[in-house]
Each structure stands twice: as C-alpha cells, then as structure tokens.
Chain A
C-alpha cells in the first residue's frame, strides 16, 4: 500500500469530561493514538470494551459532543487538506464531506433506517443532496447500485420492519456506499447478526471495497472477523494502540503480550486443547495505571513498565509494538 495515507491520525487525544453536581471525572478514552490508513485497504481496529475504539472513531468522524471533548492531536484526511481534524473543522466543511466522501456504517441498522419511511425514501433522504442529478437519474443510480451489491430491488418498497436483520444491515451498507465514498468507517456492523448472515454481510463489504478502492476503518472486538476480512490490524488497549501489523503477520506472530494472550485464548473448532484467559480486567479509564496500562496484568512486567508508557516502535515488516520488553528485544 504505497502513496500518502487517506487518514493520518497523530497523537489523538479525546476525553470524556463530566461535571455532575460537583463530581468531576475525566475519562481518558483516547490517549495519544497514532496510525495511518492507506488507500484501497481495510484497516481493522480491535479492542475490548473500554479500550476506547468507539470513542476513537467518533472523534475521527468528527462526532464529538459533550461530555466527549477533543483534547489534542490530529486526524487528517487526505481529501480535506488544511484541517487537522473534522472535530475542529467548521461545520460547513464537515457537512460537505459527510456521506459523499466519508460515510459511516453503524452497528444497529435501526439506528439508521427511519421505521416510518420506505427504503426508497430513506435513500432519497440520505443521498440525494450529495448527488447532483435529477430525481430520475438518482432513481436509476440507486437501482444500479443495488444491482452491483446484489440486493433485490423490491427491497426499495419495503419498510424496515418488514426486512430481516441481515437484510436491513445490507441495506444500510448500500446506503452508506451509494455515493462511492473514499473512506468508510464501520462500527461493529455485524456484531448483532447471526453467524450465517454475518458472512454474507462481510463479503458484501469486501466486494464494495474492492470495486470502489475506498479505505475502510473496521472496528470490532471479534478477532475472527478481523482475521477473515482486514488487510492490516491495530490492537487497542485502554485508550492506547499497543500493536499494529498486516493481519496475517499479526496472527502468525503477535509480539505484544496482550495480543499474544488474546489470540491464544480464542477457542477453535477442531482443537480441544486447554485455553487460558487473562487475569484481571481492563482498567478503569478514569483512573488508569501509570506507565504502560497493561502492566498490572502482564506476565513480563518490569519496573520500567510501571514508570513510563512505552512508545510505539516499528520492528520491521510493517509491524509496530508498544512494549518496553518486547520492542527492546526486537529492535536489537
């Protein structure tokens, strides 16, 4: 993947700050994250609950509302030169890119589809203003797009509740991609779906991505989905990026202790060997551990881990790790 990145995130920081009746809390959900997403690739972001991945994509997409605050850093899009982040850009700029260049696939289709409007009207509501053509032309564009993604055109006359969950999600994806956006953010799009439907929906996402050459930032906690779909994968833990590598390489040889444990604990059909889960639990982001946030649960923890947060270092082959112990050994 050569060429300048489509999305360049640099030391991004976004915190939740609440002031309720005198109780001030600051949750450091995204605390200094740096990564790039290139053209024509699917970049996966893995992490568990309270890893900050949802906050990260909200910040990148500019959906920053109190109590979430944009604190620092940058999330630059190549198609928006001159703006450090959508969150701080003027409203007109953000509106200009939404849906036509940058679109969002959400977890629940019912968060997107208006239950009182037929699908064809929803297409009109979302996409018509971005497409500079007449109504007839737009209607034809919708039909062409549905044919391309192999959705039956009769779906246009249905109401959302008449469709199954999987079908609704496919409609949502068609909706998000009709303007051929250059960047698609997908937030757990298949988590609520059955496993058979999930495979179809993921295939659809892959196909669209290949055809339009867009970049996809795919967030999910499901490692199996990452293994099957993504080109590169970043692992988040407690608001920080701890490892990043091309997907195949990451699964074959994970370097960070957290990633290693995570992958080792996944059960597989055909392998009845014992699986061990990690001790402890993810930290409270309002009061995270000092230094490396993983050190309380890490089997390799040393004094330096408690003292300072490890920087994320490239170790070759597109692989980056944030670990004092491992990076030290790998770099030498």
Chain B
C-alpha cells in the first residue's frame, strides 16, 4: 500500500496535485473539530466583516465566521458525498456483476430495472421527496435516496466488463476448480472491474455533491445544518452579491471546486495505476 502511494507521488504529477488539493480540503474539514464556534448558532461575531487578521475569511451577514462555518460545511458535504458514493457503488457492483455473469433472464430482468432507473428524472423526484418528507428530510435520508437513484449508469458499465471477462478461459478454469459463483465474482472478476468502480466513485461523488449543493441553494434541504449548499443558500437569502459580501460566496465555491478538481485528478491518476494492463506491464508480463 505504502509503496503504491510512494510510487504515485514520485511519478505522477496529476496525483501530486490532486492529493495536495484533497489534503487541503481534508485539513479544513478536520479543523471543524477545533472550531471555537458551534455550527448552528448565529450572530456570534460581528456580521459582514471582510477578510482580515481577526477573521481570515471574513464573516457572514448572519454573524458567523466564514472560515469556521466552512470547516463544518465542507465536512458535512464530503461526508454526504462519500456516503452516497459508497452506497451506490455497492448497489451497482452487486447488480452489474450478477447481471453480467448470469446472463439469461436474470440479466434481462436486472437491466430492465436498471434502465427504468436511468430514465427517472432525478431532480423532480428529489424535489418531490422533499415536499413529501419536508421536515424529516435529513442529509442522511437524502444520501440514501440519491444512492438508490445513482447506481444505474455504472451498473451497466460494470456489467459489460463482467460479460467480457466471463468469456475468458480462466473463468472456466475457476468453475472447474470448484469455485462458487460468489467467489468467482469477488476474487477473479473484481480486480478487472475495480478501475471502473474507482473512476465512477469520483464521478459519483462529484455528482452527488453537486446535486446536494443545488438542492440546498434552492432551499430544499435542512438549511440549519451547515453544508456548502446551505451556506450558499443563506448567502443568496441575504443577497450577498448585491450587498458586496463576496467572501461569503467565493470561499465556499472555491473550496468545493478545489474538491471537485482534486477528486478528478486522483481518480484519473489512480485509474491508470490500477488498470490491469498497466499492472501487468509493471509486474513484467505483457511485453513479449
């Protein structure tokens, strides 16, 4: 594990930049643990103060320090993104691998369900959920709903990889060695599927964070828990741009962009590393 990281840091500039960006983001998120101000309380400091020595990133119109709000905001947003990504990966892996391997009616059934989910218009559905659940809509529940809606594209990708591996002879060798279907999927096929899972995880995180920010900006979220989106919501409510309070918008946006770019670069660089062909080339096989 460490050698892999060392290699990546040494040789891959995309990884270096991506890792640096994410480290910055994570540090800021970690700072939330030592925040002198609790997240939900308003008017604890003088409002509308521009970035200065006392308040590095300024303060909001609600009397909150932007920097410390941001730490909570990015922490919650990241947690949300990770939760959605993990849940939907599990779903798409399970469905994609099984559909690709079993084929036949199982495949057709699962893919019909899959295609239905792809076609569902996400945004109206999410708004619908909000209106139905209103007060009970917490970030955790939203994460669950989005995970259940976000697995469909990637399941198909994983299924196509699974189908191509199934036709390779080593799958038959595994069967005749007595492996069960579950073992074959987990141990033989998973390494080939991992590059796709990885890059789609990053995509998925970007997608879910983006959607969360959008929903929160529009007010369709629990706006008391600070997230990047809710910060922007409040900034809009107080017409921050018009009032000239640019720091309230710029810093959250900047931070979330940094997160997106960092995740993207990480995905791209690690993808090249995990790809079976490049792994083989490094192990020594491949060049004949």
Contact = CB atoms under 8 A, between A and B. Distances in A.
A151 B11 CA distance: 55
Interface stretch (A21-29, A180-188, A205-213, A272-280): A21-29
Contact of A21 (B7, B284, B287, B288): B7
Nearest to A25: B284
Nearest to B11: A21
A49 interface: yes
Contact of A50 (B11, B281, B282, B288): B288
Q: Which of B10, B11, B278, B287 has the most CB of A within 10 A?
A: B287
Given A21-B11, A21-B273, A22-B7, A286 B282 contact: no
B189 to A, nearest CB: 24
A49 B287 CA distance: 12
Contacts of B284: 25, 286
A67 interface: yes
A188 to B, nearest CB: 14
Contacts of A50: 288
Nearest to B273: A21
Given A21-B273, A22-B10, A22-B11, A27 B287 contact: yes
Contacts of A18: 281, 287
Contacts of B273: 21
A123 interface: no
Nearest to A21: B7
Interface in B222-281: 273, 278, 281
Interface residues of A, number: 12
A307 B8 CA distance: 41
Contacts of A25: 284, 287
Nearest to A68: B287
A24 to B, nearest CB: 11
Contacts of A16: 287
Q: Which of A16, A20, A21 has the most CB of B within 10 A?
A: A21
Contacts of A23: 282
A331 B148 CA distance: 81
Main secondary structure of the interface of B (DSSP, over half): helix
Contacts, number: 23
Interface string B10-47: 11000000000000000000000000000000000000
B287 A67 contact: yes
A84 to B, nearest CB: 26
B10 A20 contact: no
Nearest to B278: A20
Contacts of B10: 21-22
B282 A20 contact: yes
Contacts of A20: 278, 281-282
Interface in A269-302: 286
A82 B284 CA distance: 38
A56 to B, nearest CB: 14
Contacts of A49: 288
Nearest to B4: A21
A16 B288 CA distance: 9
B199 to A, nearest CB: 19
Nearest to B6: A22
A87 B7 CA distance: 33
Contacts of B281: 18, 20
A23 B287 CA distance: 14
Contacts of B7: 21-22
A50 to B, nearest CB: 6
A150 B288 CA distance: 37
A213 B11 CA distance: 53
Interface in A5-30: 16, 18, 20-23, 25, 27
Contacts of B11: 21-22
Contacts of B288: 49-50
A23 B280 CA distance: 12
A27 B288 CA distance: 9
Contacts of A27: 287
Contacts of A67: 287
A16 B7 CA distance: 22
Q: Which of A20, A22, A286 has the most CB of B within 10 A?
A: A20
B5 to A, nearest CB: 11
Nearest to A49: B288
A55 B73 CA distance: 58
A67 B286 CA distance: 12
B15 to A, nearest CB: 11
Nearest to B281: A20
A286 B281 CA distance: 13
Q: Which of B7, B273, B288 has the most CB of A within 10 A?
A: B288
Interface string B43-67: 0000000000000000000000000
B220 to A, nearest CB: 45
The 9 closest A-B pairs by CB, nearest first: A21-B7, A20-B282, A16-B287, A21-B11, A23-B282, A20-B281, A27-B287, A22-B7, A21-B282
Interface of B: 7-8, 10-11, 273, 278, 281-282, 284, 287-288
Interface of A: 16, 18, 20-23, 25, 27, 49-50, 67, 286
Given A67-B287, A286-B284, 19 more contacts: A16-B287, A18-B281, A18-B287, A20-B278, A20-B281, A21-B7, A21-B8, A21-B10, A21-B273, A21-B282, A22-B7, A22-B10, A22-B11, A23-B282, A25-B284, A25-B287, A27-B287, A49-B288, A50-B288
16 contacts: A16-B287, A20-B278, A20-B282, A21-B7, A21-B8, A21-B11, A21-B273, A22-B7, A22-B10, A22-B11, A23-B282, A25-B284, A25-B287, A49-B288, A50-B288, A67-B287
